[in-house]
Structure 1
Amino acid sequence: MRHRELMISVWYPALAPRRGQRLAPYMERGAAERFDALEPHRIPPGTVDWAGTRTHAYREAPADPRGGRRPVVVYSPGVGDPRSWGTLLAEELSSHGYVVVTVDHTYESPGVQFPDGSVRTNEVLFEEFARAQREGTVPALLEKTLRVRVADARFVVNRLGALPHGLSEVLDTDRVGLAGQSGGRIHRRSEHVRGPENPSRDRPGRHPGVQPGAQRNQPLASCRPRPGPPLPPDGP
């Protein structure tokens, strides 16, 4: 039996990079090729060099221990999106002293590249969704997807203390938050990730797997942008 594997990226305040270290790519080459081929968010293939684009972070840079143990944010992307979609948020939060762990949900993300170069795609997600549409079981599939995401987040949270390169020494595992975009807003089910703490009440709304007014076992939040005026045709 083959175990399901996850890939994560860890963003954190770091010391000065060593000589010869390069900025990390936005995406690995194999994952980028798969992502580009799917025309993500109607971006035509070849428009963006996802693998050639560089972030503002260095690979395996030494963690800065001067801030003591730091709070952790686990980021989950939307369904069908890669973990790199949260790069800007991860860089911003880490610049303010947080450690951010971005998670790819294998077989949901368009392409997850592992250290051996293999890439797991999300064809199975498309197949399951097409079948759910035919059989009228889309809500059940969404609930299953949410359960898998919660299990992924639980696994990552429980393994934070085993991160390599000295990262476990700068994490405060008593201060862990979950954040996400679109389907990645798994913090709505955060009581399944950590033990009961600070009960909170959900606000009314149509949330996957959450009944309006249901008692929650952890704090949760939902942020929606307020629409602004439309931009002129030539840009801002």
Structure 2
Amino acid sequence: MRPRGPAAEHDRVTETIPGLYLSLPEVLVLLGAVALLVAPWLPPAARRPGTVAAGAVLIPSAIVLGVAGIRWQTLPVLTGAAVASGFALPHVLRLRTGRSARRARWWPALPGSLACAGLIATGPVAAWAFPVPVFPATTGDFGVGTRVVQWTDPLRPESFTADPDDRRTVVVQLWYPARKSPVGVPRAQYLGRTQDEARTVAEALADGAGLPAFLVDGVPRARSRAVVDAPPADGGERFPVVLFSPGSGGVRSQNTAWAEELAGHGYLVAALDHPYDSSVVVLADGRTIRATTASSGDRARDEELAAGWTAVRAADLGFVLTQLERLDRSETADPLTGRLDTGRAAVAGHSLGGAAALQAARQDRRFDAVVDLDGYPHGPT
């Protein structure tokens, strides 16, 4: 998702320069590195003050980043600053020893400075190319609340394990119409309930795409538009229900912007993590379940496998709708009790999730509509 709209609230990362997602310490490191690069080329009387001022900005900011966590985009800036200091510090040392200040010979200084400039420029360019995602504002009349729940089906054994006592568990994220929240209220973490979970999910998705994890280190810092556990919208109206199943190797939060947009227009959206099929699922007790589904390379065998995975996902979708029905009529003091219109339910999915949505709608008459996003049907016609 490319950045658009005003900057979201990021953990230690804000858009202090339009289009660049840099924290204040990162901006100060960048400015200090540039000042250190320029200092040797200043008039003799200004070289020492310029170098000292650059160091006074650069060094404390680098220490702050070292404590808070240095992003990879900052490393070339620090490297360029370190090399540039080799040209700037001799002027300071000569002045302290009483020697006359003079520029370094131009033939090593000029290409060296250009190389440093290239390293320093790499930092903001990398920050622009691999930004912290910013989610579009919703266009509906409602605010958006979100929460994550975990449900276990006591009647269904876990088919991906050999443990006869293991029961199928799904992690579900709900987005629902909520009261409008003030601008300063913290927004929900993207990709996970915590930044650690978000980082685990981002690394798993990068691994699935064959990318180094450090390239997507900005994604776990992103915040969506929803507010965790926000009070449901006033008025007492009931919210139609939309269930969503991601593609093979996908995760529940992959269509967050879409889910938030629907919630802003009055729907409750429930997106599923399918254990052993989603790239990674972090359970409430901290256990992490990695994907075990993989193609065999044999077309007939792969179709048989896909049909089996689709059937499991379709059963997950039906089970979640049942849980939402129970939530709606629950006798506990849940804020969503009595607010869900499970009599108007749609099921949607992407890729393998789309195939599962088709199967769920075929098998379960409680689903009134189905949306298949680029999913090839598997299983019974």
Aligned residues: 201
1:159 is paired with a residue whose SS is: helix
Question: Which residue, 286, 293, 307 being the options, matches 1:125?
Answer: 293
8 Å contact from structure 1 (residues 62, 165) kept in 2: no
CA distance in 2, matches of 1:38, 1:85: 10
Q: Greater CA deviation, 110-119 or 96-105?
A: 110-119
Counterpart of 1:146? 310
Question: Which residue, 269, 273, 294 being the options, matches 1:100?
Answer: 269
C-alpha spacing 1:120/1:175, structure 2 compared with 1 (3 Å):
same
8 Å contact from structure 1 (residues 188, 210) kept in 2: no
CA distance in 2, matches of 1:133, 1:175: 40
C-alpha spacing 1:197/1:120, structure 2 compared with 1 (3 Å):
closer
2:362 is aligned with 1:191: yes
- Output the amino acid matched with 1:208: H
Aligned pairs for 1:31-50 (under 5 A) are 32-39=199-206, 40-48=208-216, 49-50=218-219
8 Å contact from structure 1 (residues 26, 54) kept in 2: yes
Aligned residues: CA RMSD: 2.9
Q: Deviations over 1:49-79 (max 9, x none)?
A: 3322111011111111425111110011001
Structure with greater Cα Rg: 2
Structure 1: where are the runs of 5+ without partners? 212-236
8 Å contact from structure 1 (residues 73, 99) kept in 2: yes
- Output the amino acid matched with 2:322: N
2:242 is paired with a residue whose SS is: strand
Q: Deviations over 1:118-162 (max 9, x none)?
A: 21111x213xx3xx4369511110000110011000100011033
8 Å contact from structure 1 (residues 17, 62) kept in 2: no
TM-score, with length taken from structure 2: 0.48
TM-score, with length taken from structure 1: 0.75
Question: Which residue, 195, 201, 207 being the options, matches 2:377?
Answer: 207
C-alpha spacing 1:206/1:111, structure 2 compared with 1 (3 Å):
closer
Counterpart of 2:341? 172
Structure with more helix by fraction: 2
CA distance in 2, matches of 1:196, 1:66: 26
- Which structure would you say has the larger RCO, counting Cα contacts within 8 Å and 6 or more residues apart? 1
C-alpha spacing 1:135/1:182, structure 2 compared with 1 (3 Å):
closer
8 Å contact from structure 1 (residues 160, 168) kept in 2: no
Question: Which residue, 27, 30, 38 being the options, matches 2:197?
Answer: 30
Counterpart of 1:219? none
Structure 2: where are the runs of 5+ without partners? 1-164, 328-332
C-alpha spacing 1:23/1:188, structure 2 compared with 1 (3 Å):
same
8 Å contact from structure 1 (residues 18, 61) kept in 2: no
- Output the amino acid matched with 2:379: G
Question: Which residue, 225, 230, 233 being the options, matches 1:56?
Answer: 225
2:262 is paired with a residue whose SS is: helix
